[in-house]
Amino acid sequence: MKLSIRDLKYLSLVIAIWAIALICVGKGMDNNDNVIVKNNYSIKITTSQKSTAQQKTVDIILKKLEIEMNTPLSINVKDYIENPEILSDLQIKQLSDTLDTSEVNINQPGTYKYSIIYKKKKRTSTITVKEKEIPNITFTLKSKVMPITGTISKNKKDYIYETLDEEVYQNMILDLRDVEEHESTPGKYKYSITYKDTIYYGDYEIVEDVITSRINSTCPSDAIYDTVNKKCVCNDQNMNYDENSKTCKQA
């Protein structure tokens, strides 16, 4: 069958239309396969603060103190707290107003309580008052000689060769009981001085009254007359009486 020119034109038009349609459909499908979807994401960062109740509570730590007797108590509240660095200046001032050491007796050895109020709560600790430490020393006791009409000295300085601090003398115990019991009976007796639990012993001789008329001259001030041996005897038994010079000399 031979198509006319008119039919050929019509057929060519139909084929062209279909071709265009197919091309359009194909492009549309390609476009669908290459769709790029852009999504915008945002991250919101928020900082949450714990409430006061949730925050870790920092507390003060009070010291256990030791002081010597008669040592004045500090009025600086920082001296009573182990960790004052956690406190502001305002808190330090507030704590100073609550420091209570009224129970502490610095004149009496013992352990006492003190307190500080922090965050409306009373904190307590202790202050121990100790006897004052006295120095370790050694000393030498004199040998004493006294007539039966003499007076027994109670002054500790009269029995010790060395010159010591007043604090040391105050912490000595002088025991003259043996001498006092025999003060009217000539003879040699013992006395003692106790210092820091150490006992030192010395000799104490009681002799007859001095009779100066039995010798050509009186005894010097640092000696007395021994009526038994009829001679001057030095008060210090570490010295001897020299008849020639009429003085007491180092033995």
Give which of 185, 104, 199 is closest to 149, Cα–Cα: 185
Q: How many domains does the chain have?
A: 2
Q: How many CB atoms lie within 10 A of CB 239?
A: 17
Residues 165, 240, single domain; the answer is yes
pLDDT in tens, 67-115: 999 999 999 999 999 999 999 999 999 999 999 999 999 999 999 999 9
Whether 38 is covered by a domain: the verdict is no
Domain hosting 174: range is 144-250
Residues 204, 150, single domain; the answer is yes
The residue from 130, 156, 174 where one domain ends is 130
Strand locations in the chain, DSSP E?
65-68, 110-118, 121-130, 144-147, 172-175, 187-195, 198-207, 223-226, 231-234, 239-242, 247-250
pTM given for the model: 0.45
Whether 69 is covered by a domain: the verdict is yes
Whether 193 is covered by a domain: the verdict is yes
The residue from 98, 130, 162 where one domain ends is 130
Whether 60 is covered by a domain: the verdict is no
pLDDT in tens, 124-179: 999 999 988 889 999 999 999 999 888 999 999 999 999 999 989 999 999 999 99
CA gap 226, 185 in Å, rounded: 14
Whether 182 is covered by a domain: the verdict is yes
